[in-house]
Chain A
Amino acid sequence: MNAIGRHRGLARIWAGEPGLRGVFSAVSHTDIGKRFIIASAIFFAIAGVLAMLIRAQLATSHSAFVGPEAYAQIFTMHGSIMMFLFAIPMLEGVAIYLLPKLLGSRDLAFPRLTALGWWCYLFGGSIMVGSLLVGLAPNAGWFLYPPLSGPEYTPGVNSDVWLLGVTFVEISAMCAAIEIVVTILKFRAKGMRLDRMPIYAWYILATAGMMIFGFPPLILGSILLEIERAFGWPFFDPELGGSPLLWQHLFWLFGHPEVYIIFLPAAGAISTIIPVMARTKLIGYGAIVASVMALAFLSFGLWVHHMFTTGIPHMALGFFSAASVLVAIPTSIQIFAWLGTLWAGRPKLELPMLYLLGFFFVFILGGLTGVMLAIVPFNQQAHDTAFVTAHLHYVLAGGFVFPMLAAAYYWMPHVTGRLRVMRIGEAAFWLIFIGFNITFFGMHLTGLLGMPRRVYTYPAEAGWDWLNLVSSIGGFLQAFGFALFALDIALQAWLGRPARRNPWGAGTLEWTMMTPPPAYNFASLPEVECREPLGARGTLAADLARGEGLLAAPRNGWRETLAVDIASGKPDHVAILPGPSLLPVAAAASFGGFFAMMLLSLYWIAPLFLVAVTVVIWLWASTNGSREPVGPLEIGDGTTVPSHYEAQGTVGYWGSVFALCASGTLFGSLIFGFAYLWTVAPHWPPQTGLDAPLFETGLIVAGALAAAIFVRLALPRTGNGEGRLYLAIAGMGLTLLVLASLPVLRLPAPTDHAFGAVSTTLVAYGLFHAMVATLILAFMMVRKRQGFVAHGRPQEMRVATLWVDYAAGTAIVVALVLVLAAWGV
């Protein structure tokens, strides 16, 4: 087969569906990645317009043209959109687009999950922006502190829009995070050991891992606050044993890692681009990987530094202050690795490099003011002033926007296959760079002069007029710069001359494919012996096109890609990926129906949509698997490996592992909340206690153990384990029923005191997983009868065992926590 024939064959297999249907059924990571990038750029523009309104409002002390209510919505939405609808989706989009191409894979691990994430993001973002148009947008600041955001002080739907919209978008982020981690671990080129991965993959691995552990606290907080608003369960109400500080802990448990979640992918792009611009290799690969991991780890110890003024004890303050300062070290190691690389190479001032110089300038200043803010006494002075606003814009624009602009220019020839048209990019850079510094440099001073954040006007006597006017002028300069950048990108996409392949002379795999990239990425999959395979072998692109790599021959119309052993990168099995599907958009629409009903307070209709979600997921799972044995497959290097139907440790298994990690983090945060309220909130212990539910606990433990044991016994009996599967279902069903009886028969009313509210929520959590496990066991029964679970194909049973074990474990923990709580009262 020649290169043209191979291209035709693969293109037919990997093509999306035509027309309108194709818009909704697309699953290709290249398409979805581009959609994420474009949508988040649009949200950036919307948030930018809001910023312009803020600057127009504050330009002088008497220019107020909106009142305090509209202003509150504007600044709340500016922050919320930038954080949740621009920064996170943008980094996800870039990772979704780039990762398989950098790793030598044909797609991500779960193509339909990519699409689900996209639709959840689009629907959730639309709800939030739509609320702005009708004047009901969130208005309590982007971190939504209760009681201000609670039912009493924000009776309208404003806070609900935020809680539901952001949670919807977070579902999208969780999908992306799980998918990214599994892809990096399993879908790599043959021979790409962990220490041969492109540095960007390490950054994204750390980022996605942080998302898996960092987002659940916020999701939990949002659920609790929404329940408080909808049903009056007093989690955050100090009159009834709640505490507003619980929200702050949950929010910043997410919010601090969030800063690094945004910074690390950008730093990954920097580490990729700088060596190419300097025409050399990155120095200190190992040190950088170590500092990225250290940063990811440390960032979870820092959340309290956003709460220095909430009356935390001095010693704790000292500890968190030290930890906050400590993160400067891994950051500094990376910065000097980049400087050293530039020093060692022969850097050329190409356009991406120009934007990276902007990054250095802005980010260094932001980082230094960050160290200042980590120092407690200074923080107490500068907290919640324009100084903090200036600092966070320096960090986020320096640490994310400038690197992303550089990345845009660096990878545009890859996305479009074209070169840029005129030197508009330089003009855009200077407008953005100068405008940015004019806007925000002065705000440090305005803050030190005492101007607080979030005021819609200020007295003329305060003397802040001229600084604010300068900031506003700078803001509008920036806006022109971004408009020019958008124009430049559009011109490049439409009018640019075709670029030759690999225009920057890079060494990584994404430049071995045609540009713009074909749907299948690689005509044949590369084998890798170093970190820069293309740099080591200049002819690699042509060799792969000729079919000298792996999985070169189209087979059975399958979408094949290689899955490798996690550490060594040895071929493990061939993954056959699903094609276009309408299931993701159906699932997202069902979720959307649920969120919309919650928003309209139609609480009795909302669960119907969750039933719809369940049905869609059932159908989704039904499309997997194979009824017939597939047998070993040739991969093209003379060896054979099994297909994923008959392999162990498939992406489905790892996906479940990380999904359960995320759920476990949410569960852990809930237990933390229980302990926190118990020890810190006023009005504890509660008036009405709880008799220890010992009898129920016995039943729960028995049912849970039975389920875990019998699902194991059914596992090897792939022929006729049905009886054992029935027993597993009976055990899980018993656990489920007993858990469901607890709120009715035992627990105090959830509306009277936070004790009842939290314990009922704990039971609801256990109940949720027991229901999921029961459904999965029922599904296994069907799959067994249909022949999908059979001898040699036990993979689905392994995944089911994972979920049953988790449900059993959490049910037991929930019961024990209740017993302890009963004794404690």
Chain B
Amino acid sequence: MDPAGPSAAAIADLWWWMLAGSVLLSGLVFVILFLAFRRAGRAERSDAPSEKLWLGWLGLAMPVVVLLALLTYALHLGGRILPGPDAPDLTVEVTAYNWGWSFRYPDGRVSERVLHIPADAKIDLVISATDVIHSFWVPRLAGKMDAIPGHVNELRIEADRPGTFAGVCAEYCGIGHVDHDFQVIAHDGESWQDFLENRE
């Protein structure tokens, strides 16, 4: 992962935390298993298994604590990613179809298969589809959002630097699915002005 937007970056952080937690927890289980078999070969034991320890502390209390922490973190993060109350700098209508993408800007212009946005700005995408279900996904900028005929979904994206980002359709949409891709071009101030004035 090579995040190029605040949303994708936050998700990357989340991922590293979850990965570390997972390594710890699975390590714990594997160590217990290993020791249980090692113990088996050794001397007699008289201690009855403690249900309180195994079920109460390890089985119940531990996951409750871990999951609560994770949920709090994630909910907080989720609130930041969705379009907030602050107004976007630009809203673009995205329409997916077999097999292309069209992007309609506030001034009525339409671009095919290339989404132009200014870098360092909050963009709200209003996403729908005309035929079957597709899914809008630019891995380096944000999570995906489905494009569903008859429904309209919103997604906020933001590129924190100028550049070209690959986007794909992430929901199987028929035999042209594999080539159902697009590009996002994030412009710096100057070339965004060029785009707006239709000089490119």
* Beta-carbon contacts under 8 Å, A448-480 to B: 448-450, 452-458
Q: Place the interface of chain B in its size category.
A: 35 or more
Contact assessment for B168 and A347 in the assembled complex, using a CB-CB cutoff below 8 Å: no
Let me know if B87 is at the binding interface, CB within 8 A: no
Closest to A341 in B: B49
A-B contact pairs, 9 of them (CB 8 A): A153-B131, A283-B49, A287-B51, A310-B148, A339-B58, A342-B37, A365-B26, A377-B143, A378-B11
| B29 and A339 form a contact (CB under 8 A) | yes
Which residue of chain B has its CB nearest to the CB of A288? Answer: B55
In angstroms, Cα B59 to Cα A283, docked, is: 12
Residues of B within 8 A of A287 (CB): 51, 55, 59
Contact of A19 with B by CB under 8 A: no
- Restricting to B28-72, which residues have a CB under 8 Å from any CB of A? 29-30, 32-33, 35-37, 39-40, 47-51, 53-55, 58-60, 62-64, 67, 70-71
Judging by beta carbons under 8 Å apart, are B175 and A68 in contact?
yes
In the complex, are the beta carbons of A384 and B171 less than 8 A apart? yes
Query: Is A620 close to B, CB under 8 A?
Result: no
Docked complex Cα distance between A243 and B152 (Å): 12
Q: Are B55 and A333 in contact (CB under 8 A)?
A: yes
- Name the B residues within 8 Å of A339 (CB-CB): 29, 32-33, 36, 54, 58
Question: Is residue B90 contacting chain A, with contact meaning CB distance below 8 A?
Answer: no
- What distance in Å separates the Cβ of A509 from its nearest Cβ neighbour in chain B? 25
Closest A residue, CB atoms, query B152: A311
Residues of B bordering A, CB below 8 Å: 1, 7-8, 10-11, 14-15, 18, 21-22, 25-26, 29-30, 32-33, 35-37, 39-40, 47-51, 53-55, 58-60, 62-64, 67, 70-71, 74-75, 77-79, 81-82, 98, 131-133, 135, 137, 139, 142-146, 148-154, 168-178
- A379 CA to B77 CA in the complex, in Å? 13
Look across to chain B and name the residue whose beta carbon is closest to the beta carbon of A154.
Answer: B174
State the CA gap A348–B199 with chains docked (Å).
77
A69: CB under 8 A from chain B?
yes
| CB-based contact A348/B151 at 8 Å | no
A:372-408 near B, CB below 8 Å: 372, 375-381, 383-385
* B143 pairs with A309, CB closer than 8 A: yes
Chain B's closest residue to A76 (CB) is B172
Asked if A141 lies at the interface with its beta carbon under 8 angstroms from chain B, I say: yes
Cα-based distance from A348 to B40 in the complex (angstroms): 8
Known: A311-B148, A311-B151, A375-B74. 18 other contacts (CB 8 A): A68-B177, A238-B151, A244-B150, A318-B78, A328-B67, A334-B59, A339-B36, A342-B33, A343-B36, A364-B26, A364-B30, A371-B18, A383-B144, A384-B144, A384-B171, A452-B168, A458-B178, A680-B151
Q: How far is the CA of A339 from the CA of B172 in the complex (A)?
A: 41
Query: Shortest CB–CB separation between residue B196 and chain A, in angstroms?
Result: 29
Q: How far is the CB of B135 from chain A (nearest CB, A)?
A: 6
Contacts of B171 in A (CB 8 A): 145, 384
Contact with B along A45-72 (1 / 0, CB 8 A): 0000000000000000000000111001
A residues near B153, Cβ cutoff 8 Å = 310-311
Interchain CA distance A816-B82 in the complex, whole Å: 41
A337 to B178, CA, bound (A): 46
Please determine whether A361 and B30 come into contact, CB atoms closer than 8 angstroms: yes
Q: Is the CB of A453 within 8 A of B172?
A: yes
* Structural contact, A357 and B33, CB atoms closer than 8 A: yes
Of the four ranges (under 10, 10 to 19, 20 to 34, 35 or more), the interface on chain A belongs to 35 or more
Alpha-carbon distance between A218 and B88 when the two chains are bound, in angstroms: 40
Q: Are A372 and B139 in contact (CB under 8 A)?
A: no
Lowest 9 CB-CB distances: which A-B pairs, in order? A238-B150, A380-B143, A340-B54, A311-B153, A344-B49, A336-B59, A333-B59, A68-B175, A368-B22
In this complex, the member of B14, B21, B132, B173 whose beta carbon has the largest number of chain A beta carbons within 10 angstroms is B132
> Of A328, A364, A371, A455, which is within 8 A of B29 by CB?
A364
- The one of B18, B62, B81 that contacts A372, using a Cβ cutoff of 8 Å: B18
Cα separation A329 to B60 with both chains bound (whole Å):
6
Q: Give min CB distance, B104 to chain A, whole Å.
A: 19
State the Cβ distance, B139 to closest chain A Cβ, in Å: 4
A residues less than 8 Å from B40 (CB atoms): 278, 345-348
Chain A nearest Cβ from B60, distance in angstroms: 6
A325 pairs with B26, CB closer than 8 A: no
A332 within 8 A of B: yes
Residues of A242-263 at the interface with B, using a CB-CB cut-off of 8 Å, are: 242-245
Chain A 354-373 residues near chain B, CB threshold 8 A? 357, 360-361, 364-365, 368-369, 371-372
Bound form: Cα–Cα A375–B39 in Å: 38
- Alpha-carbon distance A343/B149, docked complex (angstroms): 55
